[in-house]
Structure 1
Amino acid sequence: MSPQANTRDKYQIKKVAVYIRVSTEEQAKEGYSISAQKQRLKAYCIAQDWNIAGFYVDEGISAKNMQRDDLQRMLQDIKAGLIDCVLVYRLDRLTRSVLDLYKMLEIFDEYDCKFKSATEVYDTTTAMGRMFITIVAALAQWERENTGERVSMGFHEKTRQGKYPLNFRPYGYDLNLKTGELTINNEEAEVVRLIYDFYLNKGMGAGKICKYLNQNHIPTRRGNTWIAKPLMQILKNTLYSGTFVYGAETLKTPVIIEQEKFDMVQETIKRRRTQNPKQIAGEHIFTGVLRCHVCGHAVTGYRSYHVTPNGEKISYKNYRCLRIKTGQCKGARSFSERNLENAFLDFIRNFDFDQSAYEIANDKINMINKGKQTHSKESILKDIEKLKGRIKKWQYAWANEQLTDDEFMERMDEERTLEASLQTKLLEVEPTLPELNKAAIKEILANFKSNWHKLEQLEKRSLVQLVIKNVSYYFNDKKEIIVNDIEFY
């Protein structure tokens, strides 16, 4: 190729997608970290006088398939004409599968997008170039599959023998590498229990828990600061409730979190995927389940204070419509949590648990049959577009060193969690739910009446958030608050 042709090809590239991937095992390897790849690829683009259209980063994910969030987002941007070249540090950062390579090359060709590696020379426009890149990909796939088979066989066998198969200890445990035995690390186990308690009983999300741990100088297993994704993995890992699972093999492990508490956390994780963050936080029992009896707007909790004659300051928990302060809702009343709780319990005492269990189950089944949608397709698509805009903003901030790697990955984890929620809503044209256990519903409802006074304040709030969708109320002629209906999930 002549220098003139090479120059012409160089200036045809205007919108470069920088794709970065690092698997969990490669995190600490020289030259493979996210920061190392980012710096080298930025320098490559500067040397070529290329504009970076966006960074696409998949962290802690192998290249065995194409089910990677940012890879899929990059392919969508290619199809939308936003990218005319994909740049990687090495081919194996993009894929280790020959079949997946062919699929991606077909997409690149169809949408006139080039592919470049910063450390390897490929020309995908010729038959020889395609053969060469296919051979390299085939060798990478063979290496991955061969290594994977050996590792998987070893892991299965060690688990079958009652040994923890991995060579690094999980947070909260000590590991004897010779025997494969896990023992509880008391100091870290207390942190694990604290994480579960904060998430379940104090309504704290992963970000707030990480902030608390970092501010109190509690490091991760490797001595780093906490970020959301690994913390969520602790909350989801069955290891802490006594069972490690690898394929068809299971290993009993020392219990740090009781099974009942672990199960409640899993239910809470599912609920929070679609729940407003304001419904999660706060110590008021009925936060997020109240609508104004006058205007139907959200009711929020607040505190009022009274100073006694001897100077003691007493705090009271109250609720009010958000529109009272702005004057938009003039007929609503503020009310205390104590009065609301009493009205709530009065309603529960007269509740027909048997009938309600059937009604709740039937309401859910009827909702499925009708294919009810709570969000329009147009509004969800708009939210997805807004999310993509925010992702690009975080990428530019990270590329320009305005965000650290940990901060960037935390932001991306949050956006991907939201994206998964939006995509789920988009697919809910005909929602399907498993058959509801009416006996279980009855037991949950009965727990309110029998166990309410045994619960701590935050436990009451967690129980309400777990099973109640809405509490309706009004005021009688004596200005007493009356609960007249409760809507359960």
Structure 2
Amino acid sequence: MNALYCRVSTDLQAETGYSIGDQIRTCREHVLELGLETSRSFEYIDDGYSGEYLERPALDRLREDLRAKLIQDVIIYDPDRLSRNLTNQLLLADEIEKAGAALHFVTGSYDASPEGRLFFSIRGAISAFEKAKIRERTLRGKRAKARNGKMIQNGHAYGYDWDEENSTYIINQKEAAIVKMIYDLYLSRKHTIKDIALFLKQQNIYNRKNSPFTLSMIYRILTDEKYAGIKWSFNIYDKKISQYRRQKIVRPQEEWIPIPISPIITSVEYQTVRQILSENKRKSPRNTKQQYLLRNFIQCAVCGYGISAHHKNYSSGKEYTWYKCHSGGTDKSLTPCGNPAISALELDNLIWKHLCRITYSQKELTSILRQEIVLDNTAQLTNLKDYHNQLKKKQTTILRWFNDNILSPDDAEKELQFLKKELQTTFSSISKLSSKTKKGLTKTPEEILAATSFAERRAIFENLGWKVLVDNRQKPVRIRFKI
């Protein structure tokens, strides 16, 4: 039996000479030229499959029939239709030869001699090199386009329309008003994402598909920096890891290219939302199945690593919870610090008694210290906010210079990258300092001593924001608070 193998990938459908129809026709003609019986030809067609991988339905059937000794001749239009990978080309050619079948290409003859296999290898290497060069030139062109402030491809972003002429986004005022509403609901009125979705549905506000806003869509709107005026390009790429699977890979941040677009909300609003989302995720009760008083507030006094909470149910019905240092982790090459695990219940009770003892014995001193912390934080907070405003003004200036062609794309990119990191660091410091200032004013020693329930005690630790440093290498356990 003769086997005709034809393949085309989705991005080559329209390429001249590689369409499925042309391949089948020329392969059938080549069967006649070889003097083989056309009535005994069987066609194996992979339509829409990459030649980079071996997982292809028709190719799998062909290989099975070869192993069953059902094939005498294999006719293929060109070696790169067999595979785009040189190693795979040689592997498949070797399988065909071992099955006792002859391999024929329409675009050139195949010789199974050592010289012929060498020529086949050289040709495959050249084909792979040409493909790599095409990919490199395409990528270079896309980077140049991004550095000139233009999008690489048409975007379908809610809140914006596409400007085909300038390859960028322009604000859709009707949708932008809804984006602003979502941010306002989340920031000003303290709505959760679920609350926002319900509110929009009650107000008959729908997305472009005339469907209610989903939780994931609202989350994407709240976490996408383009709404604050910067669309990042070359920050993520889609890597094909097999014939049927793709994986999104985050590039190193120094490779990211900022593209300025018209903002719908301010950078401060965006950063505030990200900070709230991050804090909510950290505190979410879904992250733990048990109640741990010190979760996220405990640290190893020996090595400085965080200490995590663990839980286990035994077949006898008993359960055990404990805290353990992260040092070493899953990396066997790292040596643990030697700080042993400790019962969570035991340590929670011990820490709370320790906190109450300090508070009870130093009520007046604690009050004075809290006032000093608040005053000191207020001064630091003012300086940080001034610096943050200066950074924002500089960012606006850089974007204006870039749009006016005063600043080159490379220089603008470097400046914006630096400013982005500085703004994130400054904003994080402002948020933490603001939180500490509020915490210093809202809890009194009396409130700490009066707390009895887990929820009250947990709220006090969250309010204080102190780190608890624990050393369990000796008895009794050594504890200190880091303010």
Q: TM-score range by the shorter chain?
A: 0.3 to 0.5
> TM-score, normalised on structure 2?
0.34
Which structure has the greater CA radius of gyration? 2
> TM-score, normalised on structure 1?
0.33
Q: Which has the higher contact order (CA 8 A, sep 6+)?
A: 1
